[in-house]
Amino acid sequence: MYKNDSNYLRELIRILVRNLGILDRSEASCCGTTLSQCHAIIEIGRKKEISLNELAETLNLDNSTMSRTVNNLVSQELAIRETHPEDRRYLVIRLTGKGLEVFKTIESNMEVYYKDVFASIPEDKREQVIESMILLVEAVNKNKCCK
């Protein structure tokens, strides 16, 4: 494999995703949530309130999968689901006090972790890494897998 080869890029991304996935699972499980619940908590916490459709779209999941995830968060008293007062077809999802605490713990753990990762990158390469990550995210968003 050559460093300028798409297979090498694929391998590096696979390793990165795998390593971050392991991190996500361990961080999420310490808060008593699954990986999908963890992602949902983060999105809800950052937006303060969000519709089920918007949450499913943001996390790239179908509505039924997202609905099950939200139902589990509600049953664990981490989130509440309410009908919008002006549009009864619109469900609003918010975190409870307990959910906010989980959100803050996840965000705090991730902030510490990524500060350590960033500090491990040589200072003169940090901007290059960020620019490259932006390009990679844009390229991935433009070229969806499994069309």
pLDDT attached to residue 66: 92
**Residue 116 resides in a domain:** yes
Q: Note the Cα 104 to chain centre separation in Å.
A: 14
**Domain coverage including residue 63:** 6-142
Task: In whole angstroms, give the CA distance from residue 88 to residue 66.
Answer: 19
In a domain, 132, yes or no: yes
The total number of structural domains in the chain stands at 1
What pLDDT does residue 138 have? 85
pLDDT at 2: 65
Domain contains 78: yes
Q: Report mean pLDDT in 10-residue bins for the chain, 147 residues.
A: 71 74 54 82 94 90 91 96 80 95 91 88 93 87 70
Is residue 1 one of the residues assigned to a domain?
no
Task: Look at residue 35 in the predicted model and tell me its pLDDT.
Answer: 81
Q: Is 27 helix (H, G, I), strand (E, B) or coil?
A: helix
- The DSSP output letter for 125 is G
What is the three-class DSSP state of 51? strand
Asked whether 79 and 73 are in contact (CB, 8 A), the reply is yes
**CATH classification at residue 45:** 1.10.10.10
Measured N-to-C along each axis, helices 35-47 and 97-120 cross at an angle, to the nearest 10 degrees, of: 100
Report pLDDT for 23.
Answer: 55
C-alpha angle 38/24/123, rounded to 5°?
125
- The pLDDT score that the predictor gives to residue 22 is 58
Residue 19 lies in a domain: yes
